[in-house]
Amino acid sequence: MDTRLNTETPRIICMHAQDNVAIVANDLGLPAGARLPCGAVLREAVPQGHKVALVDIAESQPVRRYNVVIGYAAGALPAGSWINEQRLIMPKPPALDDLPIATENAQLKPLEGYTFEGYRNPDGSVGTRNLLAITTTVQCVSGVVEHAVRRIRQELLPRYPNVDDVLGLEHIYGCGVAIEAAEAEIPIRTLRNISFNPNFGGGTMVVSLGCEKLQPERLLPPGAMRGRGAAALRDYDLITLQDPSHVGFEAMIGSIMQTAEQHLDVLDRRRRETCPAAELIVGMQCGGSDAFSGVTANPAVGFASDLLVRAGATVMFSENTEVRDGVAQLTARAANADDTRWTGGRWYAIIGFTVQVQATTVSFKGPMWGNFRFGAPAGTSYYNTSNFFLSPSLITGFRLTKLAARSKSGLRPKKLCAHRLASMMA
């Protein structure tokens, strides 16, 4: 906490009328003796973003935020006490064989007649932008592709005013991996589907090295995407950097730019057309969780999510790993009981599986301080996946993170899709 005296009027944020804690909103936190709007007087200094007891909480009594029990008081917590993980006992996880099913699926009135101006693709999908994307099969080509993208932006893109941008789809997969492992299909399928994003205009351009384990035909098998040609034909344009015709770096860049120009010419002829809002597919992305994301940005995004769904659009709320302790809140909001047939032990198997795949494709670099600096022990940093998911000191932070993440999904009933992943794991 900042040691400078905070003379501001105390400001706290309480998420639900049934909550017995709130978070301090003042930039510098609040000093001991500050009187909160509810009348409680702080018994000690409380940093910004941390929880404070609004009423007396007896030992072993529940501590509630978002009207969800986030823990039990390890000792008596008088009103005005600083609430942190050292003063809480974690609740037991919900029994997976007795989860609430479709008990809170509030119906909201549909919104009709809403449209947007989008780009319709040959396969029927609709994009909101007109982008040239360069798919890559392996991390080894990233430097060449990055340079080519920079050259395309500078030298070619200005000649195609109807194209919004060009980007390279780079990753750290493709070589030095167990390509035949059962789990390999997950990152491969993910990269494939990213290549088919509706914003990319229905055409695919691929840069390969040549010797990688993830060969282009494995990443994009013939007929992989409907509406992209006959099943026996290749559905993409390929530049292989190890091709004998590429004598030196400039030859590689020249081939990429020549193919890019052909794609830009096609993209530049595309025009927006009026499309029903039901054609929209919106994915929610984590921007970094902290004590305020669950009370500001996430609820706002959740409200927008409800509006989109009411208009017929599809919103994907995807943060499985962040909401793994919130399975009871999610199953309660299922659209119907059939949408929860993947639950039970499968939920935690899916989460563990997701983490395993993430460990092969994502590099955590540096401390993840933004996620847990509100409520984490002073000076703590989190570097690797084992600490990220197992460290006991993070448990309270994780429970709050999952509640914060959940708020991005709004109030509409949810069609839970994790059973598709579960069926793959069977």
29 and 160, same domain (yes or no): no
pLDDT at 167: 95
Which of 269, 297, 320 delimits the end of a domain? 269
Print the domain residue range for 31: 1-92
225 and 208, same domain (yes or no): yes
Which of 269, 284, 308 delimits the end of a domain? 269
Cα(411)–Cα(244) distance, integer angstroms: 57
248 and 283, same domain (yes or no): no
Cα(301)–Cα(62) distance, integer angstroms: 29
285 and 412, same domain (yes or no): yes
The answer to whether residue 327 sits within a structural domain is yes
187 and 81, same domain (yes or no): no
Longest dimension (CA), the chain: 78
pLDDT tens track, the chain, 426 positions: 454 555 689 999 998 999 999 999 999 899 999 999 999 999 999 999 999 999 999 999 999 998 889 899 999 999 999 999 899 998 887 777 777 878 887 778 899 999 999 999 988 899 999 999 999 999 999 999 999 999 999 999 999 999 999 999 999 999 988 889 888 898 999 999 999 999 998 789 999 999 999 999 999 998 776 554 434 445 789 999 999 999 999 999 999 999 999 999 999 999 999 999 999 998 877 666 677 777 888 888 888 888 998 999 998 876 666 666 677 777 787 777 765 454 444 444 444 444 444 443 333 333 333 333 444 333 333 222 222 232 333 334 445 555 666 666 666 665 544 433 333 333
The answer to whether residue 38 sits within a structural domain is yes
The single-letter DSSP state of residue 346 is H
265 and 322, same domain (yes or no): no
248 and 194, same domain (yes or no): yes
3-state SS string for 15-28: CCCCCCEEEECCCC
- Look at the alpha carbons of 419, 422, 424, 426 in this order and tell me if their dihedral is positive or negative: negative
209 and 323, same domain (yes or no): no
Specify the length of the chain in residues: 426
302 and 414, same domain (yes or no): yes
pLDDT at 357: 41
pLDDT at 41: 96
Cα(225)–Cα(220) distance, integer angstroms: 9
Residue 91 φ/ψ region, left for φ over 0, alpha for ψ in the -120 to 50 degree band, beta for the rest: beta
Q: Which amino acid does the sequence have at 117? A: E
**How many beta carbons lie within 10 A of that of residue 173, not counting itself?**
23
Could you tell me which of 73, 80, 72 has the C-alpha nearest to residue 33? 80
Domain count across the chain: 3
Which of 269, 285, 310 delimits the end of a domain? 269
pLDDT at 64: 95
The answer to whether residue 99 sits within a structural domain is no
pLDDT at 123: 84
The answer to whether residue 117 sits within a structural domain is no
The answer to whether residue 109 sits within a structural domain is no
Residue that is written with structure tokens 């340079």 in the block: 147
The answer to whether residue 102 sits within a structural domain is no
| Opening angle at CA 393, ends 407 and 53, nearest 5 | 60
Q: How far lies 341's CA from each of 99, 333, 422, in Å? A: 11, 14, 10
240 and 329, same domain (yes or no): no
Q: What one-character-per-residue DSSP string does 266-304 give? A: HHHT---EEEEGGG-EEE-------TTTTTTHHHHHHHH
Residue 10's CATH number: 2.30.130.110
Q: How far lies 75's CA from each of 22, 72, 199, 267, in Å? A: 18, 9, 54, 64
The answer to whether residue 182 sits within a structural domain is yes
pLDDT at 387: 26
pLDDT at 71: 92
Helix (H) or strand (E) holding 83: strand 82-83
pTM reported for the whole predicted model:
0.72
Cα(162)–Cα(133) distance, integer angstroms: 15
Residue 352: what are its φ and ψ, rounded to 5°? Answer: -60, -40
Query: SS3 for 73?
Result: strand
pLDDT at 131: 97
Query: SS3 for 360?
Result: helix
The answer to whether residue 362 sits within a structural domain is yes
331 and 394, same domain (yes or no): yes
Q: How far lies 89's CA from each of 69, 143, 300, 392, in Å? A: 11, 49, 31, 11
287 and 421, same domain (yes or no): yes
